[in-house]
Structures are given as structure tokens and as C-alpha cells.
Amino acid sequence: MSMGLKHSIFCSVLAFLGIVTLMSSSSREALGGGAGPAAPDGYDDHRHMMDQLGIRALRPGESGQNQERFTEEKANPCHDTMPDVLTMKGGARVTRPEQWAARRAEIVEDFEREVYGRIPPNVPKVTWEVTATTDGDSGGISTVTRTLVGHADNAAWPQISVNIAASFTVPAGTTEPVPMMLEFGFGGGFGGGRGGRGGPSWTQQAIANGWGYGFVNPGSIQADRGGMSLRQGIIGLTNKGEPRRPDQWGALRAWGWGVSRLIDFFEANPDVKVHPKKVGIEGVSRFGKAALVAAAFDERIAVAFVASSGEGGAKLHRHIFGEAIENLTGKGEYHWMAGNFLKYGASDPCMTAADLPVDSHELIALCAPRPCFISYGVPPGDPPWVDARGSFMAGVLAGPVYELLGRKSFGTPGNYLTDPMPPVGTLIGGELAWRQHEGGHTSGPNWPAFFEWIGRYIKASPLPAAAITPVPAGVQSVERTDQNSRTAHAQLLEKARRGRIDVYFEGDSITRRWGALDYPQLLANWRENLFGWNAANFAWGGDGARNILWRLENGELDNVHPKVIVLMAGTNDVGGSPSRGDDDPRIAEVTAGIEAILDICRAKAPEATIILMGITPRNDRSAHPTAVMPVIARINENTARLADGRMIRYLNINDRLADQDGKLYNGMTVDGLHLSLKGYQVWADALKPVLTELLGPPADEDHAPPPTGDPSATTKRP
């Protein structure tokens, strides 16, 4: 059967299944010449690109609920069109390592022209500025964090500014440059997570293994949106506010370009102790795609950790299973790709994955011989939609390039259609590796395996002894195992994932009630005083310091990147019992617990200023209404010494809540412990000048995620 006939049959099958549907009409009347960011009325960038390409209609993206997409029997209708990664366009077979460069150039050209787009030659230079250098701690290891801004030269088009936000952390006192793992990180983005339930964060694992870690904010390079956003950001700046041409870069390529510019900084600044030839990149989901694209095109990237990347990432385009080309050519995600990619989702004229000159195994092959770790979870958390099988198949097909260059591939028999996937939790391969973990849409459970694996290929120097610092003695985090606390933890994880949080409140019920759905009057006061500062409340009632520590260890502060953290903790550890004198064990225990919370906040949010609140007075024991106050006073004296006046500020409002003996003024609490509306206003009046100093006045809009409440609350309290 001829290739043309096969193509015709495949398009007919798509039409028979109801996939071919008209989605657009001509939009030539909407086009403007020479317009900058202010486009003509009715301008539609997606239709504009369709018109440039002569596309009259696109197939709609498939639904994740359509199980017709999730059968292996129907997943390979165009397998016989799969391009051979080691066959030149002229038909010659690549059999020697020295021939790979020419074949690689052919593959790069096809990906640039048809899939991810070309970086224009006039892309502006970036000048990096270190805006802060902060000492910190990561799991008992002293660290130094640098915050940077990369200013793209906009002299040619001042209407658009691009300032790349990034940070990186290395062990303190290191004399040798360290390997560095970068993550596409941003408020509310997918995070690398933890190594398992209650385990250390990936950043702690990096430092413990002698690596540094860093984050690049993709949204500061190019917004994760189509439409007018493509006439802004680095793409818009390069094009002087004009629309893209069909072969120009999309957001995935732009995000990878930003990583390359940070490597430029490492090369130019050896004093920051980052080894520029040992820089890796990691990302999850869309940022997993971006990590693979970055590593494929920039051969300076030493290792790629590609997690749950799906269509447009490691997944084969020709494996018609779950998300497919049509999902990336519609209005929602087309901005990730070059405009030319839209052709392969077209129904009129009909083109499909079978027409692509390349497929994703060749993208993986572009990483060779450098290490590449392909990661997925398991359903339902990592759904069939992301097509782990299709990515495993792509890895099998990329293997011959690794073998050609003297490296180790997956080590499977080599038939991508029949090679069985290894058991979940089993790492296979060499420089090209695969592991499917037991978790969901995250890279978290695969980090321990990653660091063990990459240690074979990229060596890190031992940690300097001076960097290893003792942790507060006897402080162990403790999980609250009741169902209500676990439900609340899940809600707070979701709140953290949503991001856009500048002020992060942490503590127990005294903090929780302010800004909770089940206390509407207090929530109204929260909004009246804090609206415009993007404040979010992550406290949980009944928590002691060790419970708060557990929640922070288990994801509630991961990748949030607040500018300010407000912490009030310790009252549940103190309790209401009278003081037993200066040697009361509560004094040392609570002080150590609060210090441990400060340590983890500094490790997970090194750029944040922490406002440490003194423990508020307790008068909730009728026989001895102020008997616990000496303990609270001593703890507050101790914790005040933990503040440096710069990154940790101490704030005590007790003299506005109670007299010198600790007896609460009338109306300040509702029960001798929890603050009343009047008491919260005292707190707000003390906080607002500090927040204004740190953040400026509140904005007219607030972007923090919606408030949460007590999952068990059945009635709303006044």
C-alpha cells in the first residue's frame, strides 16, 4: 500500500470517529500590519496562525474521559511511518559515532521548523543581576542562596520588558564548584515534591548529595498563554510586538532558552561555585516537556529529569493514546509549539501525526550521550492521559543512539511495540533511564532514585565539614493522623499548588481562625486588613510545633515562594498548666520546636522575610488565669533572640492584648485563649506597617487562592 493511500485512509478513519470537525473560519479581516501589543479589535492569534498556514479547519482535542483513546490495540495506526533515528534523509544508514553529528543536525532542523520553533537570531542579550544573597539551612546543612534577575536588552523595543526570575542554592563554604539541578519553578507550579511520605524534599536531597538546586520562573520568560501573550514576553520582545511567523519558537523553546541564559551566568561567574558543565534541568508535566526540549537543544545541559511530560514531551506523537497532537494545536496549548505544528492537527487540509518528519524518540536521542531520566507515576494520580507507555516506547526507539555513542540504553530487546514495561518502582537503563514510581503526577517519589542513578555519571565533591550544622536537639516532626487533619492537609496542599501567594501565614488555631471560611466575621476582618497583599492562611487548629513541622516537611510550603511568612506557634505546646519554674522543660522544648520551624521555612523559602510572632497570652484556666504566663514570657524571650532583624523579624503584640501580668484586656479574646475580632484588629494594626515596608502598599487586586476552613465544620460561626 502506498504512503499516500495510507495517509488518506488514516484521515478517513479520524473522520469516521467523529474527530474531524471545523473549528475556524477565515480571520484575514482581523489581521493588522505593523501593530504592536495593542492588536486590532477582534484579533485572534490562533486564527491568524491558521491563516498564515492555509488551514481551514482543525480537529478538536480529545477528552480525557474518552476511553476510546486508551486502548493499545488502536494506538498504533501509523507505526509504519515511524522515522528511523539512525537513517539520514538521503537513505544512508548511520553506523559510526562520527556520523551522528550530521544526522543530529537533520533532526534539529526538523524539530525547529515543524515542532518547537526556531529562536530568532536577534534574540536580545541578558544581563544578570544578583538581587539578594541569603544564608540558610537545608536539613542541617548550611547553604547560601542567591536570587537573580536576568534583564533582557529591550533597547530595540522598550514597550516590552523581560526580567527572568531565578534563584540557586549551594552548600555553604564549598571550595569546589558543585553540580546544579534546576527546576522550572513558579508560584503554584508543579513541584518536585518529596522522596516519599514524610521524607526530605528534593532540595534537601540535592544538598545532602553535594548538589546545588535552583529555580527558573518560566512565566517571567514567556507567559503560559496564547493570544496576545505571544506578542509579549521574550517572544514578543524579539518580534517587536508583532505576531509570530509559523517557524518561530513557542513557549517551550522560550522556557528552555531561559535556562540556557542562566548557564551563561554560571559560566561567567565561577565565584558562585556552580559547575557550568554539571547543570541539569527537571520539570513535571508541561515543564517536563520544557525540560526535555531544553536539554535536547542545549548540549551544555548535563542531565535531564523529565517527569510526566506526555504529548509534546517524551510521548510518541504516533502513539494515539490519551492526549494527542490535536490537544496541542487548539487554542489552549498551541502557544507551547511552533505555529507550523498546527498543520498536523488540521482536518482541512488533512494532516496527522503520520506526516510529522520526526517523532519524540528523536527528541530524546538529541540528549545523547548525556544522561536522561524519564519519569512517570501510576494511575489514577498520573492518568492514562499522559501515556506513560508511549514515552517508554519512545525511550526504546531512542536507545540505539545511546548505544552508538558508547552509552547504555534501557537494555530492553529493542522492539518498541512489544518490549514490556518494567515493574513499577524498578529503574532500568544506563545513561538513558526509566523509572515509574508509585505516586501520581509528580517527580517527588523518583528523586531518591534519580540522585542514586546520576551519581554514577556526574560526581559531586563531599560536603565541607563547616556546612554541616546541628539541628535543634530532640525535635521530631509528628503527623496528625485523625481524618479531619488529613483532609485539611490535603486542602492546604491544593491551596499551596494554586500559588500566587506573597504572604504565608502559619501556626495553630489562633492563626487559622483569622481568614477561615467557618469564621465569616474574622474572614471579613482578614480581607479588610490584608486584601491586596496576596495573603493565604496555612495554619491548622490544635497543632503543636512538631505538627506544624510535619506539614511543612510534607509539601505545604513547597514551591510557594512567598515574600513574607508570618509564624505564630507554640501555644498548644505550652498548654494552660502553671509554670514549674525556670527549669520548666516546656521552655526548651517549645523554643527548639519554633527554631526547627524557622529552619525549614528558611530552607524552603530562602527569599522570604519571616515575621515571628510572640506566643499570645493565655487566661483559659479559671483557678490560675495567668499562671502559664511565665513560661510564655521565657519562650518569647528565647525566640526573640532567633530573629536577626532582617530575614527574621520578631513581633510581639502582647502589651496591646494584656497588662504587665499577662491578664487579657476586656474584649480581646472569646475564651481566654483565642482572639476576638478586636484582638485580631490589634494583630492587623501591628502587621500592616511591616507588610507595607516589605511589600509596599496593598494592590487593588488580590490573587491569593481562596480561603479554606475546618473540613468538619457543619455550621458557620460568628
In this prediction, residue 346 carries a pLDDT of 96
The pLDDT of residue 582: 59
Q: Are 336 and 328 in contact (CB under 8 A)?
A: yes
How far apart CA 421 and CA 434 sit, in angstroms, is 9
Does the pLDDT of residue 206 top 50, yes or no?
Answer: yes
Q: Is the pLDDT of residue 607 over 70?
A: yes
- Cα–Cα distance for residue pair 142/465, rounded to 1 Å: 10
| Residue 680: its H or E element | helix 677-695
pLDDT at 418: 96
Which segments of 186-269 does DSSP mark as H helices, in order?
202-208, 233-238, 251-268
Mean pLDDT calculated for residue range 214-227: 95
**pLDDT (average), residues 188-206:** 60
Instruction: Quote the percentage of the chain above a pLDDT of 70.
Output: 87
Share above pLDDT 90 across residues of the chain, in percent, rounded to a whole number: 73
Question: Does residue 525 or residue 714 have the better pLDDT?
Answer: 525
pLDDT in tens, 261-271: 999 999 999 99
Least confident of 67-71, 159-163, 332-336: 67-71
- 40 pLDDT band, cuts 50/70/90, is low
Lowest-pLDDT range of 344-348, 352-356, 708-712: 708-712
How many whole angstroms separate alpha carbon 317 and alpha carbon 312?
A: 8
pTM higher than 0.85, yes or no? no
Largest pairwise CA distance in the chain: 94
Residue 178 neighbours by CB distance under 10 Å: 24
Q: State residue 625's pLDDT score.
A: 64
Secondary structure letter of residue 533 according to DSSP: S
* Amino acid type, 337: M
Residue with the bigger pLDDT between 404 and 574: it is: 404
- CA 92 centroid distance within chain: 43
- Cα(631)–Cα(582) distance, rounded to whole angstroms? 8
In the chain, count H helices and then E strands: 20, 17
Compute the 3-state secondary structure of the chain and give helix, strand, coil in percent, each to the nearest 5. 35, 15, 45
CA atoms within 13 A on the CB side of 356: 31
Q: What is the pLDDT of residue 466?
A: 63
Owner of C-alpha cell 479520524: 14
Instruction: Kindly report which listed range (17-31, 193-207, 226-240, 640-654) carries the lowest average pLDDT score.
Output: 17-31
Give the span between the Cα atoms of 510 and 686, in whole angstroms.
16
- 4 pLDDT above the threshold of 90: no
Please check whether residue 476 is in contact with residue 600, taking contact to mean a CB–CB distance below 8 angstroms. no
Burial of residue 165 (CB within 10 Å: 0-12, 13-18, 19+) is buried
Whose CA is closest to 440, among 292, 555, 548? 555
Burial level of 111, CB count in 10 A (0-12/13-18/19+)? buried
Q: Cell 460561626 sits at which residue?
A: 717
Contacts of 494 (CB under 8 A, 6+ apart): none
Confidence of residue 328 (pLDDT cuts 50, 70, 90): very high
Read off the pLDDT band of 583 (50, 70, 90).
low
Give the pLDDT of residue 63: 79
- Antiparallel, parallel or unpaired: β 648-651 and 609-613: parallel
- For residues 645 and 200, the model is more confident at 645
Query: Which of the four pLDDT bands, split at 50, 70 and 90, describes residue 194?
Result: very low
Q: Is 149 exposed, middle or buried (0-12, 13-18, 19+ CB in 10 A)?
A: middle
Residue 68 has a pLDDT of: 63
CA atoms within 13 A on the CB side of 113: 9
Cβ atoms 130, 244 nearer than 8 A: no
- What are the tens digits of pLDDT across the range 86-121? 999 999 999 999 999 999 999 999 999 999 999 999
In the predicted model, what is the mean pLDDT of the chain? 88
More confident residue, 3 or 658: 658
Q: State mean pLDDT over 456-481.
A: 76
- What local confidence, expressed as pLDDT, does residue 700 receive? 94
Three-state DSSP class for residue 365: helix
Task: For each of the domains in the chain, give its residue range(s) and CATH number, in order of start.
Answer: 126-459 (3.40.50.1820), 483-695 (3.40.50.1110)
Q: pLDDT at position 187, please?
A: 35
Nearest to 511 by CA among 481, 551, 471, 474: 551
The amino acid at residue 552 is L
Residues 317-330, mean pLDDT to the nearest whole number: 94
Residues 515-519, mean pLDDT to the nearest whole number: 93
pLDDT of residue 394: 98
CB 23 within 8 A of CB 330: yes
- pLDDT tier at 636 (50, 70, 90 boundaries)? very high
